[in-house]
A = this chain, B = another copy of it.
Amino acid sequence: MVTFTRERSEAGVTERLFDLTVAGERVPAVIWSPEGAKTPRPLILMGHGGSQHKKIGTLAARARQYAQRLGYATLAIDAPGHGDRISREQAEKLAKEVGDRVRGVGGTGGPSAEMLKTMAERTQRAVPEWKDALDAAQSLEFVGSGGPVGYWGVSMGTAIGVPFVASEPRIKCAVFGLAGLRPGAAAFEQAANAIHIPVEFVFQWEDAVAPRETGIALFNAFGSKEKTMHINPGAHVEIPNFEGGSWQAFYVRHLGVAKEHARAAA
């Protein structure tokens, strides 16, 4: 049973906080849905980026828009070592480290062996956390089980999302991006190969974190028959706004809209 720790509504959207316990650790979660929703609807899982948290502005804004426009529910959780799972001092240190990487400070030679180890451990913990969070969301009357589920996550949200989505048959389509497949990343490559759902993959052409050839290698690795790669000029944090419109169209195409919105649109 899910116990909400906080609940507030604004502009027709209700935001509810709750905590999961996974492998003995608290995992803070948030779910947005149309105010007053009581019946099943499409669900989006949104994985935040490195140094960010479950309620980061861009993610929360999209979740609210999806609730208002499409009647969707959107679930987000703090990744291991992120958000409410670390202290403010730790978060500030992390933001500086990630900011340096994104700006290419220290070169683009790729992550160190220590970073790769940290990232692998984080993903290993994050995948079961996402599964438990999805179980919890589907136990809610305004989400329901058996409804269509989509995933969204770029950068660290792709690093975690690819192995998660590969192992989670409930997910029907996924947006990934801002990440690449480096030579030797065999487990990540196998996970990408194992994904067969429709994928929209957004990539920045001057990304200091993911060189062009690694982005194309990851696109090639996805096992999906329907997969599309959107390349735009600019740095890691410069995805053009219009890609947001493309993500929305992608979800509507594959997940439909909530029943009450289908009636309104008809």
Residues of A within 8 A of B (CB): 219, 225-233, 240, 242, 245-246, 249-250, 253
Contacts and interface: CB of A to CB of B under 8 A. Distances in A.
23 contacts: A219-B231, A225-B233, A226-B233, A226-B240, A227-B232, A227-B233, A228-B230, A228-B231, A228-B232, A228-B240, A228-B242, A229-B229, A229-B230, A229-B231, A230-B230, A231-B231, A242-B249, A242-B250, A242-B253, A245-B249, A246-B246, A246-B249, A249-B249
A232 to B, nearest CB: 5
Contacts of A242: 228, 249-250, 253
Name A's interface SS: mixed
Contacts of A230: 228-230
A242 B200 CA distance: 12
Number of copies of this chain that the complex holds: 2
> In this complex, which of A229, A231, A250 has the most chain B Cβ atoms within 10 angstroms of its Cβ?
A231
Contacts of A249: 242, 245-246, 249
- Max chain B CB contacts within 10 Å: which of A219, A225, A233, A245? A233
Contacts of A232: 227-228
Most buried by B among A226, A228, A230: A228
A201 B117 CA distance: 38
A255 to B, nearest CB: 14
A233 to B, nearest CB: 6
